[in-house]
Chain A
Amino acid sequence: MRNDLHGIIYTLSAEPALRELVEHRNSASIPFGGRYRLIDFALSMMVNAGIRDVGVIMERDYQSLLDHLSNGADWGLARRSGGLRLLPPFGLPEAHSGHFSGCMEALRSVRSYIRDITQEDIVLCAADWVGNIDLAAAVELHRSTGAEMTAVCSEGYGPFAHHRLVKDPDGFARHLLFSEGGPGEGLFSREIYILKRELLLQLMDYCSDALHNHFHRDAVAHYLAQGGKIAVYEHNQYARRITSVRDYYDASMELHQPQMMAELFPADGLPIRTKERAEASTYYSDTAKVNSSLVADGCYIEGELDHCILFRGVRVAKGAKLKNCVVMQDTVIGAGAQLRCVIADKDCVVTDNCFLAGTDRLPVVIPKGERV
């Protein structure tokens, strides 16, 4: 069944507050939730809505992302016609620094790709968030209201929730508010938009002529100023952006709440897909003591875990005690090591009897491949 939708995900430079987590990757490929990368949430959202063509705009540090996405087969996007299209920076003016100052500039760099899209509507979003959004329902609203542009919005106020839309009585938003501090009026934009391809091209042309680079400040504001209106799809289940180490840690610990897990990974649909790996099941030895933890396959656990997240292929030796830790792929925790509020990136080695502790507000990050 073909639908008339095309997905575009932009994976721009990572926020500096993500520190060691983005030393070797951009934020789209930060490992999250035991077996995922952040981009899996955006990609799965699109695939679950029946989208079969997705372009991924890349800016820099995208080697890890390329490795993760490969040909898109794990998301059902390895296709003869369409499927996953990787769009690394190319064809920029020579003087360009290779750094996009905004989403509109990134889109401009792939203008010919967008021009050749055959579908009527484009779904546009970033890849630095965690959530499971029923995009098909948003598309239904987009179609039934006849909107040119539909925004996915949420109640409340979170980090980076400063683009706010206020609905008029007819359900459309006609004003974009910028609120830097405190909760503002209306709903905040999740920065996931469904819009007509023609409209996007027009907005790109406008921004190009005016040297505007930002999606909200420039493109959306211009569209509304011209009398445009935005349909608003409300998503009030779990979702959040990951823009700092602290965000990352908090979001990880939120996974220990059954409600969050149920919203993120519903038992009966909207699966979050990711790159498959050949793994055995996880082994718990006689000495293992594991509580309130999320554990991927292929782990080998002889130690104690409390409120931890283990990615695939992690080994925790006897006598090791981990509390409130995130341990990424293939990292080895030595015997007797004690870790608290630690995020260990992939391929790390924590040697025997090592002691490391951060706090909830300031978790310790062990960078990828380090030996402690």
Chain B
Amino acid sequence: MKKECIAMLLAGGQGSRLYALTANVAKPNLPFGGKYRIIDFPLSNCANSGIDTVGVLTQYRPMKLNAYLGTGQPWDLSADDGGVFILPPYMSAGEKGNWFSGTANAIYQNIDFIDVRDPEYVLILSGDHIYKMDYADMLREHKEKGAACTIAVIQVGMEEAKRFGIMSTGDDGYINQFEEKPAHPKSDLASMGIYIFTWSKLRKALIEDEADPDSQQDFGKNIIPNLLAAGEKLWPYHFQGYWRDVGTITSLWDANMDMLSPELIDLYDRNWPIMSRSPIRPPQVVGPEADVRHSIVTEGCIVDGSVFNSVLSSQVTVEKGARVEYSVLMPGAVVEAGAEVRFAILGENVRVCRGAHVGTEPDGTDSWGVATCGPDVTVGPGAMVAPGAMLYDDLVAT
């Protein structure tokens, strides 16, 4: 069962900055870009890169995510000697069992899972990034450079750099400094949270880190700085292309809008398909009164209203006379006749009733933001959801 490289996908985060959208589901399971769930991107990248074994570390609200992953068959990850493995926290004999206390701890608790597969290398991924990447190319560089750890990096602006783990490199190209969210960044090379480790080195580092009572058991805060301090070789893998972290309402909305610009990320590339588990629905029906422009629409949708600059997931209904602009509509959302949805995110099965309004165009004020309706919420007839609002419960017009 020897494997050269297996992937461990961190999918246990709550995504607390997405509020109502992740109140009941894990962030990686959020619908994205019409056809997809966020986790489809790293899973498809694995399949397309030839990595056939993926451990998915779950913790927060995993029920729907587990059901979505199933056997991994939609991503061609159901091979006999590989597959998708859901790895929740568990109990051991004589111990109480612990929740994953940090990203590194989550891997530490699954050392046995990795040891059984006996890989040379382990790829660590996040379940909340939108990008296409050939991990095989990254692995090639990792081997070529004889690194203990290779970190995928992307250039961000100096101002943005404060939000990321920032790498500095020496003349030889290897990483000589790593700072997590620095106040005064020394470089604009940001960690994408994608690592390839030589397993023997990571295994040792995880065990040492676990013994340190002061550690936060986090890759960025502990494991990487420790390896650097121990004099290990860390190599930056420079990624060119589209990559977004979708941890906030604004970034989730922005990244969805990016899907409307095929020059940013080509989802129609047959050589690098992003795969997903789709509900069994007929093709989308575009009605006689429909006007759909600069938008993406998915099977099972029924559209007879106006849809501009928007992303419609499966089974969305936009009735005649309804208007949807610059918005993200998750599966099963309904916009009734005469309702208007602008600069908004509608969670799964949200119903916007006749004459209701959700969100407005940007007005230049600081208080403006994308309006969000949590899953299963009904916006009653004629009700108004203000820009920037976060709706957890049904709303009735006042």
Q: Which residues of A contact B (CB under 8 A)?
A: 33-35, 73, 258, 261, 264-265, 271-273, 276, 278-298, 300, 305, 309-310
Residue of A nearest to B297 (CB): A282
Q: Is B155 an interface residue (CB 8 A)?
A: no
Residue of A nearest to B78 (CB): A73
B268 and A298 form a contact (CB under 8 A):
yes
- Which of A35, A281, A310 sits near B35, CB closer than 8 Å? A281
Would A295 and B283 be within 8 Å (CB), given that A35-B299, A280-B268, A284-B293 are in contact? Answer: yes
B278 sits at the interface (CB 8 A): yes
CB–CB A294/B285 < 8 A: yes
Bound complex: CA of A364 vs CA of B62, how far in Å? 52
Contact residue among B262, B290, B291, B298 (Cβ-Cβ distance under 8 Å from A297): B298
Contacts of A309 in B (CB 8 A): 283
CB atoms of B276 and A281 under 8 A apart: no
Taking A271-B281, A282-B298 as given, write out 15 further A-B residue pairs in contact, using a Cβ cutoff of 8 Å, ordered by the A residue number: A73-B73, A265-B282, A278-B74, A281-B34, A281-B298, A281-B311, A284-B295, A285-B293, A288-B293, A289-B293, A291-B288, A297-B35, A297-B298, A300-B268, A310-B283
11 pairs from A and B in contact (CB 8 Å cutoff): A271-B280, A278-B274, A280-B33, A280-B35, A281-B312, A281-B313, A282-B298, A292-B287, A293-B285, A294-B282, A294-B286
- Chain A interface helix/strand/loop/mixed: loop
Give chain B residues whose Cβ lies under 8 Å from the Cβ of A279.
35, 273
Q: CA separation between A289 and B284, bound complex, in Å?
A: 15
In the bound complex, residues from chain A placing their C-beta under 8 Å from that of B136 are none
Does B267 touch A at the CB level, under 8 Å? yes
Contact partners of A291 in chain B: CB under 8 A: 286-290
Q: Please tell me if B391 contacts chain A, counting CB pairs below 8 Å.
A: no
**Are the CB atoms of B294 and A286 closer together than 8 Å?**
yes
Whose C-beta in chain A lies nearest to the C-beta of B74? A276
Identity of the chain A residue whose Cβ is nearest the Cβ of B262 in the assembled complex: A283
Q: Smallest CB–CB gap between B322 and chain A, Å?
A: 16
Is B292 positioned at the interface, with any CB of A under 8 Å from its CB? yes
By a beta-carbon cutoff of 8 Å, the part of chain B in contact with chain A is 33-35, 44, 73-74, 260, 262, 267-268, 273-276, 278, 280-299, 311-313
Main secondary structure of the interface of B (DSSP, over half): loop
Question: Complex formed: what's the CA distance from A279 to B260 in Å?
Answer: 15
Query: A288–B292 contact, CB under 8 A?
Result: yes
Closest CB of chain A to B256's CB: distance in Å? 11
Q: Note all chain A residues with C-beta closer than 8 A to B276.
A: 278
Contact status B294-A284, CB under 8 Å: yes
Contacts of A258 in B (CB 8 A): 285
Interface centre among A271, A280, A295 (most CB of B within 10 A): A280
Nearest Cβ distance between residue A296 and chain B, in whole angstroms?
4
Given contacts A282-B298, A285-B294, contact A296 B34 (CB under 8 A): no
Please name the residue on chain B nearest to A282 by beta carbon: B297
Contact A281 B296 (CB under 8 A): yes
B293 & A286 in contact (Cβ 8 Å cutoff): yes
Q: Which residues of A contact B285 (CB under 8 A)?
A: 258, 261, 293-294
Chain B residues within 8 Å of A34, by CB = 282-283
Would you list the 10 A-B pairs with minimal beta carbon distance, nearest first? Answer: A281-B34, A34-B283, A280-B267, A278-B273, A265-B282, A281-B296, A278-B275, A271-B280, A281-B298, A296-B283
CB distance from B140 to the nearest CB of A (A): 25
CB atoms of B73 and A272 under 8 A apart: no
Contact of A282 with B282 at beta-carbon distance under 8 Å, contacts A276-B74, A292-B287, A297-B35 already known: no
- The residues of A that contact B290 with a CB separation of less than 8 Å are 290-291
A283 to B293, CA, bound (A): 9
Rounded to whole angstroms, the CA-CA distance of A89 and B255 in the bound complex is 53
In contact, A292 and B73 (Cβ under 8 angstroms): no
CB pair A33–B283 under 8 Å, yes or no, is: yes
Most chain-B Cβ atoms within 10 A of its Cβ — which of A272, A278, A285, A295? A278
Complex contacts, B298 vs chain A, CB 8 Å: 281-282, 297
Contact status B275-A33, CB under 8 Å: no
Of chain B, the residue at the smallest CB distance from A301 is: B292
| Chain A residues with CB under 8 A of B297 | 281-282, 284, 295
Given contacts A73-B73, A278-B275, contact A283 B296 (CB under 8 A): yes
Residues from chain A with a CB closer than 8 A to the CB of B292 are: 284, 288, 290
- Chain A residues contacting B282 (CB-CB under 8 Å) are 33-35, 261, 264-265, 272, 294
CB distance from A30 to the nearest CB of B (A): 16
Cβ of B67 to closest chain A Cβ, rounded Å: 16
Residue of B nearest to A273 (CB): B280
Residue with the greatest number of chain B CB neighbours at <10 A, chosen from A261, A295, A305, A310: A295
Centre residue among B282, B288, B299, B313 by max chain A CB count within 10 A: B282
The chain A residue with its CB closest to the CB of B75 is: A278
A282 to B296, Cβ gap below 8 A?
A: yes
Q: Are A295 and B284 in contact (CB under 8 A)?
A: yes
Say how far B337's CB is from chain A's closest CB, in angstroms: 15
Chain B residues, CB < 8 A from A278: 44, 74, 273-276
Interface centre among A271, A283, A285 (most CB of B within 10 A): A283
Question: In the complex, what distance in Å separates the CA atom of A290 from the CA atom of B289?
Answer: 9
B173: min CB distance to chain A, Å: 36
Q: How far is the CB of B216 from chain A (nearest CB, A)?
A: 38
- Shortest C-beta distance, A302 to chain B (Å), equals 10
CB distance from A171 to the nearest CB of B (A): 34
Contacting residues, chain B, for A294 (C-beta < 8 A): 282-286
A284 to B311, CA, bound (A): 10
Chain A residues positioned under 8 Å from B299 (CB to CB): 35, 296-297
Contacts A297-B299, A298-B268 hold; do A282 and B280 have CB atoms under 8 A apart?
no
Closest approach, in angstroms, between the C-beta of B290 and any C-beta of chain A? 6
Which residues of chain B have C-beta atoms less than 8 A from A297's C-beta?
A: 35, 278, 283-284, 298-299
Chain A hits for B281, CB < 8 A:
265, 271
Please determine whether A276 and B278 come into contact, CB atoms closer than 8 angstroms. Answer: yes
Determine the chain A residues whose CB is within 8 A of the CB of B312 once the complex forms.
Answer: 281
Residues from chain B with Cβ under 8 Å of A310 in the complex: 283
Which residues on B sit within 8 Å (CB–CB) of A287? 293
With A33-B282, A272-B282 as known contacts, state yes or no: A280 contacts B293, CB within 8 Å.
no
- How many angstroms from the CA of A109 to the CA of B27 in the assembled complex? 54
Instruction: Give chain B residues whose Cβ lies under 8 Å from the Cβ of A282.
Output: 284, 296-298
In the complex, which residues of chain B have a beta carbon less than 8 angstroms from the beta carbon of A283? 260, 262, 268, 295-296
Minimum CB–CB distance for A94 against chain B, Å:
40
Provide the bound-state CA to CA distance between A59 and B131, in Å. Answer: 46
In the docked arrangement, what's the CA distance between A343 and B367, Å? 53
CA distance A283 to B268 in the complex (A): 10
Q: How far is the CA of A285 from the CA of B297 in the complex (A)?
A: 11
B288 contact set on A, CB distance < 8 A: 291-292
Using Cβ atoms and an 8 Å threshold, which residues of chain A touch B284?
282, 294-297
Smallest CB separation, A31 vs chain B (Å): 12
Contacts of B35 in A (CB 8 A): 279-281, 297
Residues of chain B within 8 A of A264, CB atoms compared: 282
Instruction: Report B149 CB to chain A, min CB distance, Å.
Output: 32
Q: Cα distance A295–B286 when bound, in Å?
A: 8
Closest beta carbon of chain B to A307's beta carbon, Å? 9
